[in-house]
Amino acid sequence: MLSKEQIEFYFDQGYLLVEEVLTPEELATLQELTYGLIDKSRSVSESNDVYDLDKGHSAENPKLTRVKLPHKQHPYFWEIIKNSRMTEVLRQLLGANVLLQTSKLNAKAPGGGAAVEWHQDWAFYPHTNDDILAFGVLLEDVGPKNGPLQVIPESHKGPILSHNSESGVFCGAVDPNDPEFHLDQAVTLTGKAGSMTIHHVRTLHGSAPNVSDRARLMLFYECSAADAWPLMGAGNYMQRLPQATQWADVLERLVTGEAVLEPRMEKVPVRLPLPPASDVSSIFQLQKSGGAKSAFN
């Protein structure tokens, strides 16, 4: 699926935009399911274990920031990551054995859909090695005004910046005034529906509010090499599970290959996401309750 040049670009720059990953049929199915989930949110009046609601959400005008774990809301969201061109991309970048960390369907509503402040995913869940990435599938065309994903090239090679606010709590965002944060180097990733963005777990990224008159719908999957195991202190639900349940959970999240019982230990920079903010129910609430400063004002 990926050329040698694309693979080299990803490892050198920490991100990649791949066009036409989905077939027209796959895209149409994902769009239908996504709009169906948004339609079901009309009956929801507050955020729950499926929906994160945006300001102004109503039955007449549904506005979401996120649908949580879409692969558990409909089996097709799981099927497509296991049996599509995306699967081959994961093999090429992460190896034969790949685990799904989580999935989310970000739905920035028109006219001000919430921003995601700049951060590194690695700050939320450090592992024994950093062969971890996130990819976003564009379900509609994304232009500059839609609140597209922005990344800072080569930031995955640098330090893990502090994601703690002035009060000392983990707020899930970097301080815009951090001297190691180079916003002037940011690259904006726009593209046609059916394309896919990929960024390394240590790459600095964020997205501005959606100021267009169209929704920005992106389906995100976060995946890791199966020999990357989470560290204690990170916000990982696995640590709260009994051993038998942990093992069953690993097998349930296996995208390709097999589970690996020997964690690969590498010398990687780590900051633990502690102490926690008062509301960690979503990245939006975490950044808000933790007192994150905005780089989009």
| pTM of the predicted model as reported, rounded to 2 decimal places | 0.95
- 5-8, long-range: CB within 8 Å, 24+ apart, which pairs? 7/92, 7/93
Q: How confident is the model at residue 236 (pLDDT cuts 50, 70, 90)?
A: low
Q: For residue 86, report the phi and psi dihedrals to the nearest 5 degrees.
A: -60, -35
Q: From edge to edge, which strands make up the β-sheet containing 116-119?
A: 116-119, 205-207, 149-151, 187-189
Using the predicted structure, report yes or no on whether residue 262 has a pLDDT greater than 90.
yes
Q: Which residue has the higher pLDDT, 225 or 108?
A: 225
Average pLDDT for the chain:
94
The string of pLDDT tens digits covering residues 21-64 is 999 999 999 999 999 999 999 999 999 999 998 888 999 989 88
Average pLDDT for 149-163: 97
Residue 263 has pLDDT above 90, yes or no: yes
> Do 280 and 286 contact (CB within 8 A), yes or no?
yes
Burial string for 43-54 (b: 16+ CB within 10 Å, else e) reads eeeebeebbbbb
Where does the chain have alpha helices with state H? Answer: 4-13, 24-40, 70-73, 76-82, 85-94, 243-252, 283-289
- Inter-residue contact 132 to 222 (CB < 8 Å): yes
The model's pLDDT over 188-209, given as tens digits with 9 standing for 90+, comes to: 999 999 999 999 999 999 999 9
- Structure tokens that stand for 250 in this block: 């690993």
Check: CB of residue 162 under 8 Å from CB of residue 271: yes
Contact 92, 196 (CB under 8 A): no
Q: Of 31, 28, 30, 5, which is closest to residue 18 (Cα–Cα)?
A: 5
Domain spanning 4-289 has what CATH number?
A: 2.60.120.620
Return the pLDDT at 282: 84
Contacts by 277-282, CB closer than 8 A, 24 or more apart: 277/169, 277/170, 277/171, 277/172, 278/169, 280/235, 281/47, 281/52, 282/47, 282/52, 282/65, 282/66, 282/68
